[in-house]
Structure 1
């Protein structure tokens, strides 16, 4: 072979890529199977560890409260506070078993819940938009705020005679008192939330061409939501206080009337049962509001 031919033969690149195989590669089996039940349970425990600890501490706290209550009533302790006539937890439980089979007791609870729902809903539907408008427009704030500040300190009991004169039925007057009890906390907290909105965000929205409606929807309302739900939670508690006071004075049905009637008939166990029912209903209402707040503001739950 001549010299140039030999050089051309040596300069030709040698392919290092292996020839394609005619047989396809078999799929690789997974190294591990699905996680076991123990692994899933351990993972769930790690995620919910804090919540479980809080639940456990709360349960132990309630248990300690019941034990202390039982001991104080069993030995009829008198130490500044007299426990001689206070019913024991077992007596209250017996009263609960009797009341659970009495349709009249359930009617008391349902009527109170209906009054709370109507009065609180009206307060939220009026208080939140009014607070937003008062926080945005100074003229409306200057007109409404003095009237609200004069009426806000008046307790619910003082409104009972006026409510009876204003409304034709006891049912309407009780709902009105419940409305007043929850209206002012909702209004004040909404107004406070509006005052804390960063003006830089408002100016930025205006520079981007946002109109007043868009500024309300995209800036003021989201920024005020934490304070709005704080007002709703506080307003729910005050609504129950106002409702019970109104039912005790002018009502014929409701859990407040049930408690007052038990006191008039010297049925101490029913008094404690009514108080516990009020506490549980109030707690359940607040839990519902906080749950709604977590749905509306998911970033706050983290």
Structure 2
């Protein structure tokens, strides 16, 4: 009977028999605790193509959103271009002679079928590659040395600052006099256009190097060459790639200006020749081609920069 009464009391008020955490257990006493809740059973991970596709969308939703917004903006731009040109609107800015997207598309089909337009593109890409590569090979080491040695920076920086604001189109007459052929003068102007952004950004990257890392490397016995290789160069790499991206854009601007004035081939010459021949659709085609080539080259540099500098912050 007493045993049954105790069980009934436990069922009604179990808290009377539960020991508080701070109360010590008496010898020989029985402590009753409520049962632990059962652990939830983890659901088995989904497998198959649909699960992989969902995972991929979840990991890349930021890039997908950016791509969709970019496609939307381009679509709206082309739609606005079509409305303004088809209706020949003249709201202070005149769209009377501006070709429509359909007319530019027809010109593009004819240009790519002839093969001459592709030749212009290849020549411009070759000039960009040569001029930009030379600028990179000169500006990056010079910027690293100027950022490291103050006396070199004080000696070279004033000259670079005087030459940097001079536009590329102003260099065309001087380049024609300096170099024996138009090809070399155009490459020289492309070199100048990309040189200064790369140099300035490399200098900025060197100024952001943490001196604590430099002192730590020297305390560990690193020589000057090893410090450059292991500390200065990796720390400045994100800014160097920023300079390369900016320099590529300026290189295209400089190249087109040089080709319009002194060139006989290239996408800039093609665009200026189309204006001289009153072929308005080809003018728009050349402009679009310049934009696409510049975008592709800058995107390639950014992609290489993300691979080479994985520690850099990505925005």
TM (norm. structure 1) is 0.88
Gaps of 5+ in 2: 1-42
Counterparts of 1:164-179 in structure 2, within 5 Å, are: 164-179=176-191
Partner of 1:110: 122
Query: What per-residue deviation string (whole Å, max 9, x for no partner) do you get for residues 69-95 of structure 1?
Result: 000001111112111111000000000
Aligned-residue offset at 1:102: 1.3
Partner of 1:83: 95
Counterparts of 1:279-290 in structure 2, within 5 Å, are: 279-290=291-302
Aligned-residue offset at 1:183: 0.2
Gaps of 5+ in 1: 1-30
Aligned-residue offset at 1:32: 6.7
Partner of 2:134: 122
Distance 1:188 1:235, change over 3 A: same
Runs of at least 4 residues off by over 6 Å: 31-34
Q: Is the 8 A contact 1:294 1:301 kept in 2?
A: no
* SS of residue in 2 equivalent to 1:298: coil
Partner of 2:165: 153
Partner of 1:5: none
RMSD, aligned α-carbons: 1.3
Task: Return the alpha-carbon distance in structure 1 between the equivalents of residues 80 and 140 of structure 2.
Answer: 42
Task: Return the alpha-carbon distance in structure 2 between the equivalents of residues 301 and 215 of structure 1.
Answer: 23
Out of 116, 137, 146, which is 2:149 matched to?
Answer: 137
TM (norm. structure 2) is 0.84
Number of residues of Structure 1 aligned to a counterpart in Structure 2: 272
Partner of 1:28: none
Aligned-residue offset at 1:38: 1.3
Query: What per-residue deviation string (whole Å, max 9, x for no partner) do you get for residues 6-27 of structure 1?
Result: xxxxxxxxxxxxxxxxxxxxxx
* SS of residue in 2 equivalent to 1:300: coil
Aligned-residue offset at 1:283: 0.3
Partner of 1:209: 221
